[in-house]
């Protein structure tokens, strides 16, 4: 209802949200899995023209980053992460006798949790004109910090669209 204080009203674009949960399999420790094309396709299918894409790992021993997909750089990053928290190091987390809640089958992965301390569990990217806005060399990665296995990634898209449909990915 218009108030007498307003001189004019204009209809705004429709707000839209879309979400998805993706499961993927990593193969090895310190693996960089390029998620860019997967997330870009989710953005395309959502119909969101302008907004934000949040990509979040559902695990404490993985991370989500934006960086360049260049093999030598990825190897440099692997070496730096391993130097920060070496797999062969001593971690109280790995001494299951010190932890009352630990199960005998639990992984000895203190190194992976410590590596995660230096990285983020999510990244938020801009959507412009229905596409992810990335720099020339930027790519979106899931970083496996522990051992290869099935991992879950949550994708949340929020923004405006011209059509107003509330599509699910």
pLDDT digits (tens, 9 = 90+) for 41-53: 999 999 999 999 9
pLDDT at 160: 95
Average pLDDT for residues 52-63, to the nearest whole number? 98
Average pLDDT for residues 89-99, to the nearest whole number? 92
Using 50, 70 and 90 to split pLDDT, how confident is the model at 2?
low
Using 50, 70 and 90 to split pLDDT, how confident is the model at 10?
low
pLDDT at 43: 97
Using 50, 70 and 90 to split pLDDT, how confident is the model at 105?
confident
Alpha-carbon distance values, 81 to 23, 31, 66, 113, 164 (Å): 24, 11, 16, 11, 44
Q: What does the alpha-carbon distance between residue 23 and residue 133 come to, in Å, rounded to a whole number? A: 24
Q: Which residue in 33, 29, 25 sits closest to 107, CA to CA?
A: 29
Does 167 score more than 60 pLDDT?
no
Does 168 score more than 70 pLDDT?
no
pTM, rounded to two decimals: 0.87
Using 50, 70 and 90 to split pLDDT, how confident is the model at 104?
confident
Q: What architecture is domain 14-90+108-161?
A: Sandwich (2.60)
pLDDT at 8: 62
Alpha-carbon distance values, 106 to 80, 96, 111, 117 (Å): 26, 8, 14, 20
Average pLDDT for residues 96-119, to the nearest whole number? 91
141 and 64 Cβ atoms separated by less than 8 Å: yes
Does 165 score more than 50 pLDDT?
no
Using 50, 70 and 90 to split pLDDT, how confident is the model at 32?
very high
Express each pLDDT in 140-164 by its tens digit.
Answer: 999 999 999 999 999 999 999 866 5
Does 169 score more than 70 pLDDT?
no
CA 95 to chain centre: 30
In the chain, what are the domain boundaries? 14-90+108-161
Q: What does the alpha-carbon distance between residue 149 and residue 146 come to, in Å, rounded to a whole number? A: 9
């Amino acid at each position: 209802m218009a108030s007498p204080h307003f001189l004019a009203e204009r209809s705004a674009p429709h707000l839209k949200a879309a979400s998805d949960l993706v499961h993927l399999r990593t193969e090895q420790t310190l693996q960089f899995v390029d998620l860019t094309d997967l997330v870009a396709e989710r953005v395309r299918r959502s119909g969101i023209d302008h907004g934000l894409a949040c990509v979040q790992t559902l695990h404490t021993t993985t991370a989500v980053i934006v960086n360049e997909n260049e093999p030598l750089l990825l190897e440099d990053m692997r070496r730096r992460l391993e130097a920060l928290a070496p797999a062969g190091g001593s971690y109280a987390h790995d001494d299951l006798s010190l932890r009352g809640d630990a199960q005998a089958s639990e992984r000895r992965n203190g190194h992976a949790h410590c590596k995660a301390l230096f990285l983020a569990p999510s990244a938020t990217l801009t959507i412009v004109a229905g596409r992810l806005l990335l720099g020339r060399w930027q790519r979106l990665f899931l970083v496996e910090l522990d051992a290869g296995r099935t991992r879950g990634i949550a994708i949340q898209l929020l923004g405006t669209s011209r059509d107003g449909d509330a599509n699910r990915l």
